[in-house]
Amino acid sequence: MIIDIHGHYTTEPPAFHAFRDKQLAGLADSARKPTTTDLGISDETLKKSVEPQLKFQTDRGGDLTIFSPRAGGMAHHVGTEAVSRQWSTLCNDIIHRICTLLPDNFVGVGQLPQSPGVSPKNCIPELERIVKELGFVGVNLNPDPSGGYWTDPPMTDKYWYPIYEKLVELDVPAMIHVSSSCNPNFHHTGAHYINGDTSVFMQLIQGNLFKDFPTLRLVIPHGGGAVPYHWGRYRGLCQDMGKPPLAEYLLKNVYFDTCVYHLPGIELLAKVIPVDNILFASEMVGAVRGIDPNTGHYYDDTKRYVDQLKGLSEQDRKKIFEGNARRVYPKLDAILKKRGK
Amino acid sequence: MIIDIHGHYTTEPPAFHAFRDKQLAGLADSARKPTTTDLGISDETLKKSVEPQLKFQTDRGGDLTIFSPRAGGMAHHVGTEAVSRQWSTLCNDIIHRICTLLPDNFVGVGQLPQSPGVSPKNCIPELERIVKELGFVGVNLNPDPSGGYWTDPPMTDKYWYPIYEKLVELDVPAMIHVSSSCNPNFHHTGAHYINGDTSVFMQLIQGNLFKDFPTLRLVIPHGGGAVPYHWGRYRGLCQDMGKPPLAEYLLKNVYFDTCVYHLPGIELLAKVIPVDNILFASEMVGAVRGIDPNTGHYYDDTKRYVDQLKGLSEQDRKKIFEGNARRVYPKLDAILKKRGK
């Protein structure tokens, strides 16, 4: 079974964007606020909207995608906490509808109503709702709700602890995932995403978060940002700081996905990161949409790169494609077991 | 000949730090301002202070290091523009003294008196001074003088053009190098440095800087941040934006160093980046100071990794160790030629 742990709903129907426009227009002119949260989107429209994802899933040999709202769309820096809350609820509800309509193809992961400078503990009710009521198996957690100015505390700060306590209690992992950038220095998918991954991993080296949360599981997407490429730097910094060896220190709790869009990158990832910490993902339809003229295949068809890895046992390959996902996302495993898979 | 293009003066004598303390204390209490910029550091003390670098150079088989002030020490975000100017002058002067005392071992690169929100054109006099009077062969240019809040415009903005015009006129390259971080989210060598590299490369994809400056040369240190690991992502983003193929678009002007502290990282770099764009560097004594227990060698002994690269012709190896540096830093080449090298 091939589980893609990182897919975003990037093909929303126009009515969804129209609501967001009205919602944000309402910040400037309350007369323009949407009068209802009923988007008027039919099941048929929803199913049609995810046809691109379904086609890629089929064409590339995938089975199931862990599906979450568009990452760039979370935009926690826009508007107020109340705006973020309404928007997050709506985004999560639409993911839930898609997962209910197409349960064999999609399992849900949610976004949180974060807002810069606002305690993450305000996100607890929505976190409980998406796991307990909507059956989501994880959540995306934005380490920089300011959208590129990084004004909230590092993720090892006690500021974030209420979220971690709830994640542990619910036994769901968080994917560390920034949203769009309002800082012109950072292109969102080309810089802000990768920087977010790198920065949080380094924060985890500096802090000692997993001493307080030994069962917390964090997924660092986009192949771990710059981390595997600079694995020697991170091992060395960890050592210089008098911490335990890096793998021993962090890799019981931290996982990387395979959203790296060329074979040499995936080869490096598999060479330096233990196979138990690598989860298959493509982030389709996502950051890069074109076809690589060097290969004739989509850049984000990451399954092809994993398939080409040499010296990987079939057991290890199965871990990357399925086993690790079922271990890191136990609620996903429970769903699949219930279905006899 | 082995040229290390990225070494910082990280072993300054105590009198140097004492001056800086006084200088910054003077911001709060003008009575504490240093009364002189004569640091009272003898030539003997200076020579002794760089013994660690000289020992590593010899032990590792290096010949010459392009030597610049401590990157984290530039701290452009601290104090005022006047403070930055005084400090930069002093830092550059001390590098000049070392390079004059030990001309076979060190050639100078300078820092600029940048300050957040202050036009880079104010740096022109110091840029001219270090090249024309001190004989420096390049300069470090900080893309984020705010120290981790990224409040100045992207490096493709016309804001930066006066610097580029002068670099082109003087025919010296700039290494894009952030300084320390006052943002607790970013460890300086573990996150801010790498993010800086990644962010600026992405800015260069978005903009079209080399259309206006076809002969400008920029070195992205630390192996290019996350860029080579995500080379597929960057090729794909470039393509999605309708730009020319990435290598053709940027690699006539952009170079990466080899400050990547493990063999798999260097192997990846050499696999995806054309050999003409890779410059040998170690950043010693720098970010990572320990010995890798897996190899028994210093993490930052990057020459060992380059030596271990398979399938590299001797001609290509020579490019990485010497030829590319002489091409990218023509003033260095001129110095070496004058010495009959």
Nearest to B230 among A185, A206, A260 (CB): A260
- The number of CA neighbours under 13 Å toward the Cβ of B28 is 5
What's the Rg (C-alpha) of chain A? 19
The pLDDT score that the predictor gives to residue B233 is: 98
Are A229 and B199 inside 8 Å of each other by CB?
Answer: no
Are B229 and A265 inside 8 Å of each other by CB?
Answer: yes
The pLDDT score that the predictor gives to residue B54 is: 97
The residue-averaged pLDDT of B275-289 equals: 95
Q: Which two tokens stand for residue A62?
A: 């995938």
The residue-averaged pLDDT of B79-95 equals: 98
Interface test with A, best of B155, B195, B263 (most A CBs within 10 A): B195
- φ and ψ of A327, to 5 deg: -80, -45
The pLDDT score that the predictor gives to residue A319 is: 98
Are A203 and B223 inside 8 Å of each other by CB?
Answer: no
The residue-averaged pLDDT of B43-63 equals: 97
pLDDT at B286 over 90: no
Integer angstrom CA distances of residue A251 from A25, B12, B121, B150, B156: 44, 37, 47, 31, 38
The pLDDT score that the predictor gives to residue B177 is: 98
Q: What percent of chain B has pLDDT over 90?
A: 99
| Catalytic residue positions of B, numbered | 283
- Catalytic one among A81, A283, A314, A322? A283
The pLDDT score that the predictor gives to residue A72 is: 97
At residue B338 the predicted structure's pLDDT band, cuts being 50, 70 and 90, is: very high
User: Which amino acid is it at A108?
Assistant: G
The residue-averaged pLDDT of B138-153 equals: 98
pLDDT at B82 over 90: yes
The pLDDT score that the predictor gives to residue A286 is: 87
Which has the closest alpha carbon to B322: B276, B283, B259? B276
B111-142 tens-digit pLDDT:
999 999 999 999 999 999 999 999 999 999 99
Measured in residues, chain A has a length of 341
The nearest alpha carbon in chain A to B267 belongs to A268
Are B232 and A262 inside 8 Å of each other by CB?
Answer: yes
Active site residue A12: no
Are B199 and A195 inside 8 Å of each other by CB?
Answer: yes
Name the stretches of chain A with pLDDT < 70: none
B160-214 tens-digit pLDDT:
999 999 999 999 999 999 999 999 999 999 999 999 999 999 999 999 999 999 9
Count chain A–chain B contacts defined by CB atoms under 8 A. 198
d(C-alpha B97, C-alpha A294), whole Å: 50
The pLDDT score that the predictor gives to residue A87 is: 98
Residues 6+ apart with CB under 8 A from A36: none
